[in-house]
Amino acid sequence: MTTALIGQPISRVDGRRKVTGAATYVAEFQAPGLVHGAIVRSTVANGRIASIDSSAAQQAPGVIAVLTHQNAPKLAYRAHKGAPDPGIGERLHVLQADRVSHQGQPVALVIAEGLEQAVHAAMLVRVTYAPEAAITDIARAEPVPLTPPSETRRGDPDGALAAAEVKLGQTYVIPRENHNPIEMHATIASWDGDSLTLWDKTQWVHNVADEIAAVFGIPARNVRVISPFVGGAFGSALRTWPHVTLAALGARVAGRPVKIMLSRREMYYGTGFRPHTVQRVALGASRDGRLGAILHNGDQETSTYEEFTEALLNATGFLHSCPNVNTRHRLAPMNVHTPTYMRGPGEASGIFAIESAMDELAVALNIDPVELRLRNEPEQDEFRQLPFSSRSTRECYQAAAERFGWSRRNSEPRSMRDGRQLIGWGMATATYGAGRAPASAMARLLPDGTAEVASAASDMGPGTWTSMTQVAAETLGLPIERVRFTLGDTRLPRAPVHGGSITMASVGSAVQAACRKAREDALARGGGTNDVTEAMRRIGQPVEASVDSTPGDESQRFSMHAFGAVFVEVAVDPDLGETRVRRIVGAYGAGRIVNPKLARSQCVGGMIGGIGMALMEHSVVDGRNGRVSNANFAEYAVPVHADAPPVMDVIFVEEHDPHVNPLGVKGVGEIAMVGVAPAITNAIFHATGKRIRELPVTPDKLL
Partner 1 sequence: MHPFTLDRPRDLAAALALRAQAGRNDAPAEYIAGGTDMVQLLQEYVRQPERLVSLAGLLDNRIEIGPQGLRLGVAATMAEVAADPAVVEQFPLISEALLNSASPQVRNQATMGGNLLQRTRCPYFRDVGYAACNKRAPGSGCAAIGGENRWHAVLGTSDDCIATNPSDLAVALVALDAAVEIRGAGGSRSLPLVDFHRLPAATPHIETVLEPGEVIAAITVPASSAARRSHYLKVRDRASFEFAVVSAAVALEMDGARIRQARIALGGVGTKPWRVPRVEAALAGASLEPQSLRQAAALAAENAHGRGHNDFKIELMQRAIVRAVEIAGARA
Determine phi and psi for 501, rounding to 5 degrees: 60, 35
Q: What sign for the dihedral angle of Cα 291, 696, 178, 203?
A: negative
Rg (CA), the chain: 26
* Binding positions for partner 1, 471-510, rule CB under 8 A: none
Are 515 and 445 within 8 A, CB to CB? no
x/- string (CB under 8 A) for partner 1, residues 14-43?
A: ---------------------------x-x
Of the residues 177, 301, 347, 670, only one is catalytic, namely 670
Around Cβ 619, how many Cβ atoms within 10 Å?
18
Q: How far is Cα 529 from Cα 477, in angstroms, rounded to an integer?
A: 13
- Could you tell me which of 180, 178, 189, 282 has the C-alpha nearest to residue 240? 189
Which region, judged by CB under 8 A, interacts with partner 1, from 307-315, 564-572, 573-581, 666-674?
573-581
Residue 418 as a binder of partner 1 (CB under 8 A): the answer is no
Residue 131 as a binder of partner 1 (CB under 8 A): the answer is no
Could you report how far apart the first and last alpha carbons of the chain are, in Å? 64
Cα pseudo-dihedral 588, 590, 596, 598, rounded to 10: -100
Residues 6+ apart with CB under 8 A from 501: 432, 433, 434, 435, 562, 666, 667, 668, 669, 670, 671
For partner 1, the closer of residues 123 and 647 by Cβ is 123
- Could you tell me which of 336, 338, 330, 408 has the C-alpha nearest to residue 368? 408
- If phi > 0 it is left, if psi is from -120 to 50 it is alpha, else beta; for residue 235 that is left
Please tell me what DSSP assigns to residue 641: G
Q: How far is Cα 108 from Cα 239, in angstroms, rounded to an integer?
A: 21
* Binding positions for partner 1, 583-622, rule CB under 8 A: 615-616, 620, 622
Which region, judged by CB under 8 A, interacts with partner 1, from 327-335, 434-442, 451-459, 572-580?
572-580
Q: Looking at 345, 493, 496, 696, which residue binds partner 1 (CB under 8 A)? A: 696
Q: How far is Cα 681 from Cα 690, in angstroms, rounded to an integer?
A: 9
Smallest gap from Cβ 575 to partner 1, in A, equals: 5
- If phi > 0 it is left, if psi is from -120 to 50 it is alpha, else beta; for residue 488 that is left
Which region, judged by CB under 8 A, interacts with partner 1, from 349-357, 387-395, 442-450, 640-648?
640-648
Are 385 and 321 within 8 A, CB to CB? no
Residue 116 as a binder of partner 1 (CB under 8 A): the answer is yes
Residue 639 as a binder of partner 1 (CB under 8 A): the answer is yes
Residues 6+ apart with CB under 8 A from 603: 586, 588, 648, 650, 668, 672
Residue 643 as a binder of partner 1 (CB under 8 A): the answer is yes
Q: Looking at 74, 575, 647, 654, which residue binds partner 1 (CB under 8 A)? A: 575
Number of residues that bind partner 1 (CB under 8 A): 38
x/- string (CB under 8 A) for partner 1, residues 241-280?
A: ----------------------x-x---------------
Q: Looking at 123, 130, 163, 524, which residue binds partner 1 (CB under 8 A)? A: 123
Which region, judged by CB under 8 A, interacts with partner 1, from 114-122, 316-324, 589-597, 658-666?
114-122
Residue 110 as a binder of partner 1 (CB under 8 A): the answer is no
- Could you tell me which of 578, 586, 643 has the C-alpha nearest to residue 609? 643
Q: How far is Cα 409 from Cα 416, in angstroms, rounded to an integer?
A: 9
Q: How far is Cα 233 from Cα 460, in angstroms, rounded to an integer?
A: 6
Q: How far is Cα 111 from Cα 122, in angstroms, rounded to an integer?
A: 9
Are 590 and 564 within 8 A, CB to CB? yes
x/- string (CB under 8 A) for partner 1, residues 68-107?
A: -----------------------------------x----
For partner 1, the closer of residues 79 and 703 by Cβ is 703
Smallest gap from Cβ 640 to partner 1, in A, equals: 5
CA 124 to chain centre: 37
Which region, judged by CB under 8 A, interacts with partner 1, from 194-202, 362-370, 491-499, 691-699?
691-699
Smallest gap from Cβ 624 to partner 1, in A, equals: 7
Residue 578 as a binder of partner 1 (CB under 8 A): the answer is yes
Residue 334 as a binder of partner 1 (CB under 8 A): the answer is no
Which region, judged by CB under 8 A, interacts with partner 1, from 92-100, 159-167, 518-526, 623-631?
623-631
Active site residue 569: no
Q: How far is Cα 373 from Cα 471, in angstroms, rounded to an integer?
A: 36
Smallest gap from Cβ 254 to partner 1, in A, equals: 22
Smallest gap from Cβ 637 to partner 1, in A, equals: 5
Smallest gap from Cβ 700 to partner 1, in A, equals: 4
Q: How far is Cα 454 from Cα 442, in angstroms, rounded to an integer?
A: 5
Q: Looking at 182, 193, 642, 646, which residue binds partner 1 (CB under 8 A)? A: 642
Contact footprint for partner 1 (CB under 8 A)? 41, 43, 103, 116, 119-120, 123, 263, 265, 575-578, 580, 615-616, 620, 622, 624, 627, 629-632, 634-635, 637-643, 696, 698-700, 703
Active site residues: 670
